[in-house]
Structure 1
Amino acid sequence: MSRIIADIPNNWWVYDRVRGISFPKDNFQFIFDIEENLQTVFSDRPWSFNYWTMIPERWTANPPDDFLTKFEVRIRIRHIPYNYYTRETMHDLEKAIGKVEEIAFDPNISHVVNMPDTDPHF
């Protein structure tokens, strides 16, 4: 717990503008100096620490029953072979993933392939 409280603010880039408090049952809370710093953290969530997903959320005294039981995540699927670069493939992937709100794919526009020297993740 102490490592989370010490390290996470550095990952959030707010290390000198937030303080952490640990509670029983592996719970913790961060208190931000100003709302803008909190919104900075919220804009990039979810976060991870030591291979665990962390979903910061605003504290509430009476959370609903489903509080922190689900979260949105963006998935980027890369290196799809060209012969599968079709609308049908995108919908098959959508079915396998679960609930999907948007597929950023339009077969009617040109697509640029990143070459190894321009894409560090290639």
Structure 2
Amino acid sequence: MDNENKNQRSENIELEKSKSHIIVEIIEYVPNSVVIKTIIKKSTGNISIMSFDSGEGLTEKTSPFDVFAQIIEGKAEIVIDNITNLLQSGQGIIIPAHSPNFIKPNGRFKMILTTIKSGYE
């Protein structure tokens, strides 16, 4: 987790609208890195897809909005308010607004994060 800041890559991508996509193939693993691709970014919220190489995670943060995390490949440990949640492919969890949370390294995995920016203004 200590390498998170120097090994994090972010980019915005625009998926073709009205066309189906294989979500797990939109993002690849990069050795020793966390890769983040923003699929939709609006003033009311955004959707990002992320890949985590083995041994990579994210340090603790708090969002002013609810965030839905869905694992689309592999397994992840998501810690919310000091409670560990082990999620597998196909599972999701809502991270409540203002709750400290972080992602522990637990092997390679991919996930989708959806943030809804309303109701807390």
TM-score of the superposition, structure 2-length normalised? 0.26
- Specify which structure has the higher proportion of strand: 2
* Higher RCO (CA-CA < 8 Å; seq separation 6+): 2
The structure where helix makes up a greater share of residues is 1
The structure with the larger Rg is 1
